[in-house]
Structure 1
Amino acid sequence: MRRNCLLALACALAALPLSAHAGEATATLHGDRDGGVISRHLYGHFAEHLGRCIYDGIWVGEESDIPNTSGVRNDVIEALKAIQIPNLRWPGGCYADDYHWRDGVGPRDERPVRVNIHWGQVLDTNAFGTHEFLNLCELLGAEPYLAGNVGSGTPQELRDWVEYITYDGDSELAELRREHGREEPWKLKYLGVGNENWGCGGEMRPEYYADLFRRYATFCRDLSGNRLVRVACGPNGGDRKWNAAVLSRASRQMQAYSLHQYTLAAPWNDKLPATGFDEAKWFSILHDSRNIENAIQVAEEEMDKVDPNKRIGLFVDEWGTWYREEPNTPGYGLYQQNSLRDALVAGISLHLFHEHNDRVRMANIAQVVNVLQAMILTEGPDMVLTPTYHVFEMFKVHHDATRLPVDLKGPDYEFDGKKTPALSVSASRDGDGAVHVSIVNTHAHDAMTITCGLEGVSSSAVAGRVLTASELDAHNTFAKPHNLEPEDFDGAKVEDGELTVEVPPRSVVVLSLTE
């Protein structure tokens, strides 16, 4: 019996992932240097009329048994407030270039029902329209970011939408807004002129789109003291040809330029599963997630040619992981689970946005509820916060803080002949002088020891939180909504002006350095 028990124990230990000795990394945190502001708008969000993002996810209607405020789920409102959502992009996505704003204003029982041609040809009641969206943004304290219809719309339609929303005089459109229940105009800062016009937004050539953008931008005016940031449609990933053509022809009329880059590490027609994966698929997604930096660099190079003073902001207004839809859900709904792997992708991506904060001024993860790399999943009255949500909550400390440059020398994570940096680190100082350090360890099995010199930082104590789990695909479900959440972290210490951190494998860590 004893021999059999020992044999069983040996077999069980052999089946566990090997954990090598901790990798060694060195770093210097430059608290005496100003790396520019990490805009809170890098932590922006995106909501599209797609699957169950709007209907069931955000909007349930005033008559619903689910607790709501003016038709919007209270649990979603509170969850988004808790991460201090800075902006929300709407109504798409591909949906934007077939959306006509007049369909979504006025009495709801009189609004037309339209076919959503992009996402399953389902019927959209237009119950959630302009007033509902802008009122939601006010509830959240978030800046609205509208994606305007260029693909099937007209310059007149978009300029009328701007007037309806922002004009405080006695025009016909302002009076129409008042008739619909809104006396005072809203403020609208961010206006996207089209979406993915190289693809679902019209299959346009960049030269043609550039001319259209100039036309639309000319008629979308600043009214009643409202000042627009007109956002031109940028490339799919690192498309240098699109960048060069649009920027050379239309940079003078734009205040911002968009970029879309998804992480999928697989062909579009054979995407990876969101859970139930092995280390090979863990590694491939984390490796692929760094492609977003190349796309940013390509855009920046072309932007610098026409805008060396960096007047124009780069908005990465669609990013995130894209997997196979969950079983028994429609493909057009893009409903996927969200695991520890996605939390690490979020941490890496946000760090890259920090590093490019002189040009990258907004980013919008796709999407906020029930679609792609969602913050929140809902099912009837139930709600689940995803691992990605928890990273956004942990990283709130970086909102509008000053980036502190970090020089990092660390090992690579190697797998099957490929490699990616094992560590990603970012640091900032907030308005009260507190210094925060966020760390991502992508390695599936190996802990990492970071020895970090602190220049210009006076600290004698450190506290932290960590998000990690033993399973690569750890995630939260409606049956176990608290399976993966941040916990207190005691693996860091400060001595003699040096920070030492024992970073667990497959983890996100956030530290606070205090006197």
Structure 2
Amino acid sequence: MKTTILIISLLLTVSLSAQNTLELKPDTLTVKINKEIYGHFSEHLGTCIYEGIYVGEDSDIPNINGYRKDVVEAFKELKVPVLRWPGGCFADTYHWKDGIGPKEDRPSIVNVFWGGVTEDNSFGTHEFLNFCELVGTEPYLSINVGSGTVQEAVEWVEYITSSNKSPMTDLRKKNGRKNPWNVKYWGIGNENWGCGGDMAPDYYANIYRNYSSYIRSNNYHKVICGPSGGDTKWTESILKGLEGKTHLAQGVSLHYYTLPTGDWGSKGSSTEFKEDMWFATLRNTMYVEDFIKKHLAIMDKYDPEGKMKLIVDEWGTWYDKLPGTKEGFLQQQNTVRDALVAGINLNIFNNHADRISMANIAQIVNVLQSVILTKGHEMVKTPTYHIFKMYNVHQDANLIPIDLETENYEYKGESIPALTASASEKDGIVSITITNANPNKEIPIDCQLRNDFKSVSGKIVAGKEITDFNDFGKEEKVYISDFTVGKTKNGELKIEVPAHSAILVQLQ
């Protein structure tokens, strides 16, 4: 009887291991993972810009021309490839001429969308674009379509990019910038189905055509405002409105926020949760892959050559605000759960890199699923920061197609894939990132590599508890550490992926 039980136990163990397999298919490396997939988003919201990025030259917080020195260094370390600005909903009331010229002459503006606060426009076009140059990131600008005009948009593009003799070029030079900036990415409108004007899709498509036709350069990557989540009707309508004119848009945006409850009223706490909210969050974030496939199918219908790319320029977790923080500032903490959300989404985006050319997590500092938190002189790198840093090996690497077979993570009658993964090759190094959504168990996976490698190394982002986060004045609980990986044998590598973790395995 004992022998029978032992045999059954061994068979179950073998069966369990066998169902978790990752096969690399490096025969054709034709798709590049654009570095811009690892992009970020900065909006005039809460303390993202003021206090988070910009404190002014007179601040006693160490700064470089008013930009927080610690944040500048952290962004350089992270290799931030592209940064979206000035919104978001804020962009729909932003008039760029209010934010240029001598700071003392700039008019104030009331931020009607986020907290009703008054700001002095001391951070405007020059400050943003100079910041991008300082940290080595590409700017991605959102044009005000909701309350703006075509003329205002065209003049902004001319002010920033023109080297010709013109009134806007002269104005830029008068304000201290002789040479134009090189800005490639332009979003024409933002959430025009909502805060960007509450427009019908066919109406917006015509407005987009009008704006885009006046922003003429072939060097620009122009983005049409796409859907929220799974709204395929919006996608169908705007692309139908571009029928025969798809050259006017090089990208279609998609916004999708992960809410644990799925309810915009009570979204759940960012720090106080149990396995039910852990499971719900990861389940809900995985929906994005289905949305991506559905929107790409519609894009293929109107753009069969695939020239238009999908731009996921707002994504991330959204919880209830932290107790004691201001309404409309969207301040939340960032735990191991958010690290898994980031890892899962980046794996999904990588695997669709043939059609996704950019993604921008919301938002870069102090707002929603930020990579940085600041408070006075202090700065914290969140678990999401460490995921982006660990994953940045995929930036501009060649995507390696994979076949992933994974067991499910089951909770109270529901299930999701326990593992997600993506792989790439760059400079002779193969990088594989894997997430384990199961908070309770380590999961074995057999990686079929086809070749043996001389060098194998690993990194991991994890915490002891799923609610662990990094806080001011305390040692980090969630960070990148070394992860022990065995040697390859006969073209295979066996890995034990710890519970609630994301790992990086590199082979050379």
Aligned-partner Cα distance in 1 for 2:132–2:321: 29
Q: Which residue of 2 aligns with 1:380?
A: 376
1:21–1:282 distance in 2 versus 1, CA, 3 Å: farther
Query: Which of 215, 220, 223 in structure 2 is aligned with 1:231?
Result: 223
What SS does the aligned partner of 1:333 have? coil
Q: Which residue of 2 aligns with 1:474?
A: 468
Is 1:212 equivalent to 2:207 in the alignment?
Answer: yes
Q: Which residue of 2 aligns with 1:508?
A: 502
Superposition deviation, residue 35 in structure 1: 5.3
Deviations 1:310-368 (A, max 9, x none): 11111000000000110100130000000011001001100111111111100000000
Contact 1:460–1:495 under 8 Å retained in 2: no
Q: Which residue of 1 aligns with 2:480?
A: 486
Is 1:326 equivalent to 2:318 in the alignment?
Answer: no
Query: Which of 156, 160, 173 in structure 2 is aligned with 1:178?
Result: 173
Aligned-partner Cα distance in 2 for 1:310–1:492: 41
Give the stretch that moved more between structures: 372-381 or 466-475. Answer: 466-475
Is 1:447 equivalent to 2:439 in the alignment?
Answer: no
Is 1:338 equivalent to 2:334 in the alignment?
Answer: yes
Is 1:410 equivalent to 2:374 in the alignment?
Answer: no
Which runs of structure 2 are paired with 1:196-275 in the superposition (5 Å)? Answer: 196-222=191-217, 227-250=219-242, 251-266=246-261, 267-275=263-271
Superposition deviation, residue 252 in structure 1: 3.5
Aligned-partner Cα distance in 1 for 2:52–2:488: 44
Sequence identity of aligned pairs in percent? 49
Give the gaps of 5 or more residues in structure 1: 1-19
What SS does the aligned partner of 2:169 have? helix
Is 1:136 equivalent to 2:131 in the alignment?
Answer: yes
Q: Which residue of 1 aligns with 2:5?
A: none
Q: CA RMSD in A?
A: 1.3
Q: Count the aligned residue pairs.
A: 490
Superposition deviation, residue 21 in structure 1: 7.9
Contact 2:463–2:477 under 8 Å retained in 1: no
Is 1:102 equivalent to 2:94 in the alignment?
Answer: no
Which runs of structure 2 are paired with 1:39-438 in the superposition (5 Å)? Answer: 39-222=34-217, 227-250=219-242, 251-266=246-261, 267-430=263-426, 432-438=427-433
Q: Which amino acid counterpart does residue 171 of structure 2 have in structure 1?
A: L
Contact 1:385–1:481 under 8 Å retained in 2: no
Superposition deviation, residue 481 in structure 1: 4.4
Q: Which residue of 2 aligns with 1:28?
A: 23
Aligned-partner Cα distance in 2 for 1:333–1:21: 49
Superposition deviation, residue 221 in structure 1: 2.5
Aligned-partner Cα distance in 2 for 1:97–1:492: 53
Aligned-partner Cα distance in 1 for 2:438–2:302: 40
- Normalised TM-score (structure 2): 0.95
Contact 2:108–2:119 under 8 Å retained in 1: yes
Superposition deviation, residue 380 in structure 1: 0.3
What SS does the aligned partner of 1:37 have? coil
Q: Which residue of 2 aligns with 1:459?
A: 453
Give the stretch that moved more between structures: 400-409 or 377-386. Answer: 400-409
Superposition deviation, residue 272 in structure 1: 1.1
What SS does the aligned partner of 2:270 have? coil
Q: Which residue of 2 aligns with 1:17?
A: none
Give the stretch that moved more between structures: 483-492 or 140-149. Answer: 483-492
Q: Which amino acid counterpart does residue 490 of structure 1 have in structure 2?
A: T
List structure 1 segments (4+ residues) > 3 angstroms apart after TM superposition.
Answer: 20-23
Give the stretch that moved more between structures: 323-332 or 41-50. Answer: 323-332
Contact 1:86–1:143 under 8 Å retained in 2: yes
Aligned-partner Cα distance in 1 for 2:486–2:249: 45
Give the stretch that moved more between structures: 20-29 or 276-285. Answer: 20-29
Aligned-partner Cα distance in 1 for 2:447–2:478: 28
Give the gaps of 5 or more residues in structure 2: 1-11
Aligned-partner Cα distance in 2 for 1:235–1:460: 46
Deviations 1:187-220 (A, max 9, x none): 1100100100000111000000000000011112
What SS does the aligned partner of 1:486 have? strand
Contact 1:188–1:227 under 8 Å retained in 2: no
Contact 1:491–1:503 under 8 Å retained in 2: no
Q: Which residue of 2 aligns with 1:498?
A: 492
Aligned-partner Cα distance in 2 for 1:387–1:43: 15
Contact 1:194–1:201 under 8 Å retained in 2: yes
Contact 2:452–2:489 under 8 Å retained in 1: no
What SS does the aligned partner of 1:272 have? coil
Superposition deviation, residue 435 in structure 1: 0.5
